[in-house]
Amino acid sequence: MVSRRLLILYGSQTGTAQDVSERIWREAKRYHLTGPVQAMDDYSISQLIQEQYVVFVCSTTGQGEEPDNMKIFWKFLLRKGLPSNSLRSIKFAVLGLGDSSYAKFNYAAKKLYRRLLNLGAIPMASLGLADDQHDLGADAVVDPWIAQLWETLLVELPIPQGLPISSDIKISPRWNITIENTGFLPALPPISQKNRSFPVVVKENIRTTKPDHFQDVRLISLSNLPEGITYTPGDVLLVRPQNLPENVETLMALLTGEDAQSAGSKLTPETVFKITQIDEDMPVPEPLQSPQSLINLATYYWDLNAIPRRFMLQILAEVTPNDLEKEKLLEMASSEGQEMMYDYLNRPRRTILELLADFPHAVSNIPYQLLFELFSPIRPRSFSIASSPTAHKQELHILVAVVKYKTKLMKPRLGLCSNWLASLKPNNLIYVWLQKGSLRFPINEDIPIVMVGPGTGVAPFRSYIQTRHVEGTANANSLHLYFGCRNREGDFHFSDEWLSLQENGELSFSCAFSRDQEEKMYVQHIILRHQDIIWKILKSGGYVFVAGNSNNMPTSVREAIRDSLVSVGGFNIDAATDFLDKMEREGKYQTETWS
């Protein structure tokens, strides 16, 4: 018997894969299919052989690794004892969400696709590899891939006779939502216990760049760590930020002002939302399982800085009574209007609040039940830990570049998390949690290592170098740090520490100041000057670590190291490339980059 069950599993580091999975689930409901959306590690993998149709959506993290909520699932699939035909009854599709500026683009999705084939599963669609670097963003691949998926699935699982499928959008809420204007106002943000979050206190929030420097960078020190909290160099701190007060005020004005009807239900900041499950396939997230006030949701849960997705345009088109608004929204939300939508939303980085302000008739008619469809939750942001567990006991330090830039819109674009962190004052209490990072430093302290960390990329290396300093194992023969910044006087992060360690013979330190001379100087140029040193380190089995912005730096650094192998080591280009690829496979060439 053919099941009308479609299992949708995701592996997501930031939540994007979950968003796409829920989009597929919504469409599945329109086609009268059942089945849950779950993180891979939340699914009982022993039941997988009983499934018939499965969609996998996954992102990639670190050195081409699978996300945290996919690790157990992936480890099970890699078991050597699994028969090569163990998944022969499954028809599957894999969609990867990645960024081609990373060396191992969509690596987790590629590995998963190959492993499923090896276990006998049958593909329903080609492997989808979405790329954030595409002019139209990930949707350039996601949209046609989902369309291809449904073409196949609806042949396999045609709509049962007598069950209609609406050609209209007809959006309905995924949960049952009721409101009470009781004045009840929870004092704490909705916190998930699954992420093992814990409270810390802001000790210091210091700007490390000069006041007149173009970029504001903060060294934020967090103290009062609960007993038992430990970390090692290379680990990552995760933070779920709060919305900026001015954005919360804007949303309150939109939803509770005189023009706001909210489908006949007058909302106030103190209105309490109670969310319960409608469909067992779509359970209520843990933070929403307790009642939440509108002001709490606006402050702590909904991402008011998010760039709207196509689905949000469809919601507004559904509810607006204004014909002109409906026409424009539907045009942008159509497949033919993709470029128009990108020009309106993505290119200028327009936020969900700015979208709502542009369509006042839609906003004043949004049913409160659809607010949880319109707004996406704030996703956590990760930061390499810049402190040492031994040198900075009971503290966590992060180095944060405050994101602020201009587009064609009048108002500057502000990064949600970095600006919130920059606004924190000493003694503020925030919730954070720890996660293993992608950088793995060698246990043998005699192994020489090259660390390339321009800008805030130097953070994890500070953690490691200061640990070696306190342990008395730091020496200039084994620790080689290449740092880059614009100006010696402007953004030379931790300059006193590096110069002191260098003077004491504990660190070999080189710095590229890109704007302090007529010709621009970057870390790759310094590496090319040190070809003899680089070759000596690599020849002896040394490691290379690269951390920082994923734009051009990682590729340029790798090319400089490759050229060192050619110039000094006697390799040809192909052999040098193979040498570095082998280092990468063995964990001796590691990168941690971000866009």
Q: Are 313 and 332 a contacting pair, CB within 8 Å?
A: yes
Tell me whether residue 456 is annotated as binding.
Answer: yes
Q: Tabulate helix, strand, coil % of the chain (nearest 5).
A: 35, 20, 45
Tens digits of residue pLDDT in 28-56: 888 888 899 999 999 999 899 999 999 99
Check whether 100 is labelled as a binding-site residue: yes
563 vs 261: which has the higher pLDDT: 563
Is 575 known to sit in a ligand binding site? no
CATH number of 565's domain: 3.40.50.80
- Assigned domain for 178 exists: no
Is 143 annotated in some ligand binding site? no
* Confidence bin at 185 (pLDDT 50/70/90): low
Report whether 174 belongs to an annotated binding site.
Answer: no
- Ligand-binding annotation for 14, yes or no, is yes
Contact call for residues 115 and 45 (beta carbons, < 8 A): no
**Rounded mean pLDDT of the chain?**
90
Residue 74: closest CA among 47, 104, 108, 97: 108
pLDDT digits (tens, 9 = 90+) for 242-270: 999 999 999 999 998 776 655 556 888 98
Q: Is 531 annotated in some ligand binding site?
A: no
Q: Is 111 annotated as a binding residue?
A: no
Residue 92 belongs to a domain with what CATH number?
A: 3.40.50.360
How confident is the model at residue 191, as a pLDDT? 63
Contact 385, 397 (CB under 8 A): yes
Residue 514 among known ligand-binding residues:
yes
Q: Is residue 551 located within the same domain as residue 491?
A: yes
Annotated binding-site residue? 98: yes
576 marked ligand binding residue: no
User: Do 298 and 399 have their domain in common?
Assistant: no
Task: Tell me if 132 is assigned to a ligand binding site.
Answer: yes
Lowest mean pLDDT among 3-7, 208-212, 347-351, 396-400: 3-7
Same domain, 149 and 14: yes
pTM given for the model: 0.87
- 524 phi/psi in degrees, rounded to 5: -65, -30
At 193 the three-state DSSP class reads coil
Please say which residue of 156, 188, 208 terminates a domain: 156
Which helix (H) or strand (E) element contains residue 70?
none
418 has binding-site annotation = yes
Residue 494 annotated as part of some ligand binding site: no
pLDDT of residue 566: 95
Domain of residue 280 covers 245-374
Residues with Cβ within 8 Å of 404's Cβ and at least 6 positions away in sequence, in order, are: 216, 412, 413, 414, 415, 419
Residue, of 185 and 528, whose pLDDT is higher = 528
Write out pLDDT tens, residues 147-158.
999 999 999 888
Q: How many domains does the chain have?
A: 4
Per-residue pLDDT at 136: 75
CB 269 within 8 Å of CB 294: yes
Each residue of 444-467: pLDDT tens digit?
999 999 999 999 999 999 999 999
- Residue pair 248/449 in contact by the 8 Å Cβ criterion: no
- Distance between first and last Cα of the chain: 47
Same domain membership, residue 150 and residue 20: yes
Residue 138 located in a structural domain: yes
Rounded to whole angstroms, the Cα distance separating 24 from 37 reads: 9
Q: Nearest 5°: phi and psi at 276?
A: -130, 160
Residue 537 corresponds to which tokens in the numbers above? 């380190």
Please indicate if the annotation marks 508 as binding a ligand.
no
Same domain (yes/no): 55, 101: yes
Known binding residue 114? Answer is no
Q: Are residues 517 and 413 in the same domain?
A: no
The answer to whether 383 is annotated as binding is yes
Q: What is the DSSP string of 519-586?
A: S---HHHHHHHTHHHHHHHHHTT-EEEEEEESSSHHHHHHHHHHHHHHHTT---HHHHHHHHHHHHHT
Q: Is 103 annotated as a binding residue?
A: yes
Instruction: Kindly tell me if the per-residue pLDDT of 193 is higher than 70.
Output: no
- Is 169 inside any structural domain? no
In a domain? residue 164:
no
Binding site annotation covers 148? no
Instruction: Give the Cα-Cα-Cα angle 11, 15, 21 (nearest 5 degrees).
Output: 65
- Statement to judge: residues 234 and 251 lie in one domain: no
Element at 462 (helix H, strand E): helix 459-471
Residue where a domain stops, chosen among 102, 133, 156? 156
Largest CA distance in the chain: 81
- Domain with residue 392: its CATH number is 2.40.30.10
Tell me what pLDDT residue 194 has.
Answer: 67
- The answer to whether the annotation marks 253 as part of a ligand binding site is no
Phi, psi angles (nearest 5°) of residue 440: -125, 105
Q: Are residues 142 and 22 in the same domain?
A: yes
Please, are residues 93 and 56 in contact by the beta-carbon 8 Å criterion? yes
* 526, 580: one domain: yes
Does 522 appear as a known binding residue?
yes
In a domain, 456, yes or no: yes
Q: Assess whether 361 and 391 both reside in one domain.
A: no
The edge-to-edge listing of strands for the beta sheet with 217-223 is: 381-384, 236-239, 429-435, 198-207, 217-223, 396-401
In a domain, 29, yes or no: yes
- Give the pLDDT confidence of 463-494 residue by residue, as tens digits: 999 999 999 999 999 999 999 999 999 999 99
Q: Domain boundary residue among 354, 374, 394?
A: 374
How far apart CA 222 and CA 199 sit, in angstroms, is 10
The verdict on residue 335 lying in a domain is yes
Strand, coil or helix: 91: strand
Phi, psi for 511 (deg, rounded to 5)? -135, 135
416 marked as part of a ligand binding site: yes
Q: Provide, rounded to the nearest whole percent, the portion of the chain with pLDDT above 70.
A: 94
Same domain, 464 and 406: no
- Does the residue 302 lie in any domain? yes
Contacts of residue 553, Cβ cutoff 8 Å, sequence gap at least 6: 454, 457, 522, 523, 524, 546, 593
46 and 62 co-located in one domain: yes
